[in-house]
């Protein structure tokens, strides 16, 4: 039975609404940062190549830095680590503005942008709070994970659009400045909610640096990230080649909207079976639905492609929800932030790879062919194989 109060009941816990507001406020600039940086550098310095290289350097540094920051969060507490880490990240982001504007040496842009890698994974910290609040209420935790996934989708729909608007309608540096202000404000609001902060769990001395059962989830998320990156680049190239460049944003927004709808409905349903089983089912469904954009591109119709992308997005949120639930279930409480951040890092690494592969396909075969939609099909199949292969490890971990 569907309970219409499922989501409103989540916020009955004191402080939950405030930490959620801070978390969402801090996640929006994460979705804005890449576009803001590219618009600023490309406009002021006149080089998309430089903008892309600086952005890539920041992503690479984040892939290394984010898990380290998350490990510190697990050891010392969210507020104690997140606030100073954010201050360092924001300072680096703000310093980029005068460096770009006043034509500082190129190497300084790379060096300073690496400093933004200390930004904490606020989404992961929010999920850790829900896991602590509702550790004895699995139905509410399921709804909370679904809500968090929808929040991610909304941020990544609105963030790039807002960043592009600020950087083009106002001035090139506007997106970066707003990004840093929102990040600092969001983390400060989030960290101030001490009542909901999970306690620091003691770590076992001499424990393994590896987290058993996590590699399969991270690998599956990496393949999922390839799907996201390839879909984005291929859609932009395909719509542009067919004379509908402005439709790319609408088509990709529909994909995210499909995920949002599915996430909201999925959170209302009572979960059945194990998290591992639901995860594999979600990955399998996602892999199957990735064939729809590949089939739709043959029509040459942007409208048909948009419908296919909406349908393809329907399996994304349930897959991500169950993946995060599996991380919460398998990872020791003392390393929960680290585990969830590693999962997110896998997605980001996959997006980078998918973007590169999608661009290569568009350039080699022609942007109007849409052959890049074959990449999500292959990546989806690899994600399913990886998820199934991880099942035995998950069972051993639960034994």
Residues belonging to the chain: 399
Rounded-to-integer distance, Cα 34 and Cα 132, Å: 32
Regarding whether 241 and 185 lie in a shared domain, the answer is: no
CA–CA gap between residue 287 and residue 71 (Å, rounded) = 32
Same domain, residue pair 172 and 220: no
91-103 residues labelled b (16+ CB within 10 A) or e (exposed): ebbbbbbebbeee
Contact criterion met (CB below 8 Å) for 205 and 355:
no
Reply yes or no on whether the pLDDT at 186 is more than 90. yes
pLDDT at residue 208 greater than cutoff 60: no
**Which alpha helices (H) appear in 102-214, and where do they start and end?**
106-114, 122-133, 138-165, 174-192
The pLDDT-based confidence of 267 (bands split at 50, 70, 90) is confident
Residue of higher predicted confidence among 4 and 107: 107
Same domain, 195 and 237: no
Does the structure show a pLDDT above 80 at 213? no
In terms of Cα–Cα distance, which of 388, 139, 162, 366 is closest to 271?
A: 139
206 within a domain of the structure (yes/no): no
CATH code of 317's domain: 1.20.1250.20
Instruction: Give the whole-number percent of the chain exceeding pLDDT 70.
Output: 93
Domain presence at residue 9: no
**168 and 111 within one domain:** yes
Q: How many domains does the chain fold into?
A: 2
Query: Domain limits at 53?
Result: 15-200
Q: Give tens-digit pLDDT for 9-52.
A: 888 888 888 989 999 999 888 878 877 887 888 888 887 778 87
With CA atoms as reference, report the closest residue to 151 among 143, 163, 139. Answer: 143
Q: How far apart are CA 326 and CA 340, in angstroms?
A: 10
Q: 2 or 378: which carries more pLDDT confidence?
A: 378
Same domain, 52 and 166: yes
**pLDDT (mean) for 123-142:** 86
Q: What are phi and psi of 308, to 5 degrees?
A: -65, -40
DSSP 8-state symbol, 271: P
Last-in-domain residue among 181, 200, 219: 200
What pLDDT does 391 receive?
Answer: 72
**Choice between 204 and 329, residue whose per-residue pLDDT is larger:** 329
When pLDDT is averaged across residues 391-396 and rounded to a whole number, the result is 55
When pLDDT is averaged across residues 214-221 and rounded to a whole number, the result is 87
Supply angle C-alpha 243, 247, 251, rounded to 5.
130
**Please, which pLDDT band fits residue 397 given cuts at 50, 70 and 90?**
very low
- Of 63 and 212, the one with more pLDDT: 63
143 assigned to some structural domain:
yes
Tell me what the mean pLDDT of segment 371-376 comes to: 90
Mean pLDDT of the chain: 84
SS3 content of the chain, % helix, strand, coil (to 5): 85, 0, 15
Segment 275-295 mean pLDDT:
92
Structure tokens at 273: 């079976």
Nearest CA to 73 among 221, 187, 186? 187
Tell me: do 171 and 282 sit in the same domain: no
* Cβ–Cβ < 8 Å for 267, 153: no
Assess if residue 357 is contained within a domain. Answer: yes
Query: Does residue 8 lie in a domain region?
Result: no
Residue 6 covered by a domain: no
Instruction: Please tell me the predicted confidence (pLDDT) of residue 308.
Output: 93
Do 39 and 179 have their domain in common?
A: yes
| Domain-ending residue, one of 166, 200, 234 | 200
pLDDT band at 223 (very low <50, low <70, confident <90, very high): very high
Among 200, 225, 251, give the residue marking a domain's end.
200
- Give the span between the Cα atoms of 320 and 341, in whole angstroms: 13
Identify the band that residue 210 occupies on the pLDDT scale cut at 50, 70 and 90: low
Locate tokens 């999970």: which residue? Answer: 198
Q: What residue ranges in 94-177 does DSSP mark as E strands?
A: none
Closest CA to 339 of 327, 350, 329, 349: 327
SS3 148: helix
Residues 173 and 34 in one domain: yes
pLDDT value at 257 more than 80: yes
Q: Is 221 within a domain?
A: yes
User: What tokens does 263 get?
Assistant: 């996430």
Residue 147: pLDDT band by 50, 70, 90 thresholds? confident
**Contact assessment for residue 77 and residue 200, using Cβ atoms and an 8 Å cutoff:** yes
Q: Say yes or no: 137 and 48 in one domain.
A: yes
Q: What digits encode the pLDDT tens for the residues 307-360? A: 999 999 898 888 888 888 888 887 777 788 788 888 888 888 888 788 778 878
In a 13 Å sphere around the CA of 228, the CA atoms on its Cβ side amount to 24
**pLDDT at residue 389 greater than cutoff 50:** yes
pLDDT for 311 equals 93
135 part of a folded domain: yes
With 0-12 / 13-18 / 19 or more C-beta atoms within 10 angstroms meaning exposed / middle / buried, residue 342 is buried
pLDDT given for residue 360 in this prediction: 81
Residues 6+ apart with CB under 8 A from 32: 159, 160, 162, 163, 175, 178, 179, 182
Are 267 and 189 part of one and the same domain?
no
Helix, coil or strand: residue 80: helix
- pLDDT level of residue 246 (50, 70, 90 thresholds): low
Find the largest Cα–Cα distance for the chain: 62
How far is the CA of 183 from the CAs of 37, 115, 395, in angstroms? 15, 14, 39
Q: Considering just the CA atoms, what is the radius of gyration of the chain in Å?
A: 20
- Please compute the mean of the pLDDT values over residues 197-201 and round it to a whole number: 81
Please, which pLDDT band fits residue 7 given cuts at 50, 70 and 90? confident
Say yes or no: 126 and 251 in one domain: no
Q: Is the pLDDT assigned to residue 177 strictly greater than 90?
A: yes
Q: Is the pLDDT score of 394 beyond 60?
A: no
65-102 per-position pLDDT tens digit: 888 888 888 888 888 999 999 999 999 999 999 999 89
Q: State whether 163 and 287 are in the same domain.
A: no
């Amino acid at each position: 039975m569907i309970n219409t109060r499922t989501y409103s009941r989540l916020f009955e816990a004191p402080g939950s609404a405030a930490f959620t507001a801070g978390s969402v406020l801090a996640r929006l600039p994460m979705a804005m940062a890449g576009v803001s940086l590219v618009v600023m550098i490309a406009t002021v310095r006149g080089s998309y190549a430089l903008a892309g290289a600086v952005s890539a350097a920041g992503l690479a540094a984040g892939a290394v830095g984010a898990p380290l920051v998350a490990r510190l969060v697990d050891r010392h507490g969210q507020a104690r680590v997140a606030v100073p880490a954010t201050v360092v990240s924001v300072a680096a982001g703000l310093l980029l503005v005068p460096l770009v504007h006043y034509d500082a040496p190129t190497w300084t842009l790379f060096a300073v942008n690496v400093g933004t890698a200390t930004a904490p994974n606020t989404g992961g910290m929010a999920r850790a709070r829900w896991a602590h609040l509702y550790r004895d209420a699995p139905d509410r935790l399921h709804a909370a994970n679904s809500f968090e996934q929808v929040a991610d989708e909304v941020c990544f729909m609105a963030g790039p659009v807002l960043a592009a608007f600020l950087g083009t309608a106002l001035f090139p540096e506007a997106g970066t400045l707003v990004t840093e202000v929102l990040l600092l404000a969001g983390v400060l609001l989030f960290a101030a909610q001490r009542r909901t902060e999970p306690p620091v769990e003691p770590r076992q001395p001499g424990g393994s640096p590896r987290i058993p059962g996590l590699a399969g989830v991270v690998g599956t998320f990496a393949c999922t990230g390839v799907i996201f990156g390839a879909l984005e680049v291929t859609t932009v190239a395909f719509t542009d080649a067919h004379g509908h460049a402005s439709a790319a944003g609408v088509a990709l927004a529909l994909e995210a909207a499909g995920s949002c709808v599915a996430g909201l409905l999925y959170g209302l349903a009572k979960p059945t079976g194990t998290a591992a089983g639901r995860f594999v089912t979600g990955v399998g469904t996602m892999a199957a639905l990735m064939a729809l954009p590949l089939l739709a591109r043959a029509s040459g119709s942007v409208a048909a492609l948009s419908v296919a992308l909406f349908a393809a997005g329907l399996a994304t949120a349930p897959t991500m929800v169950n993946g995060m639930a599996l991380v919460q279930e398998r990872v020791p409480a003392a390393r929960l932030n680290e585990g969830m951040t590693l999962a997110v890092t896998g997605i980001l690494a996959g997006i980078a790879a998918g973007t590169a592969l999608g661009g290569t396909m568009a350039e080699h075969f022609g942007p109007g062919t849409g052959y890049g939609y074959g990449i999500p099909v292959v990546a989806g199949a690899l994600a399913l194989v990886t998820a199934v292969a991880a099942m035995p490890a998950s069972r051993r971990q639960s034994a």
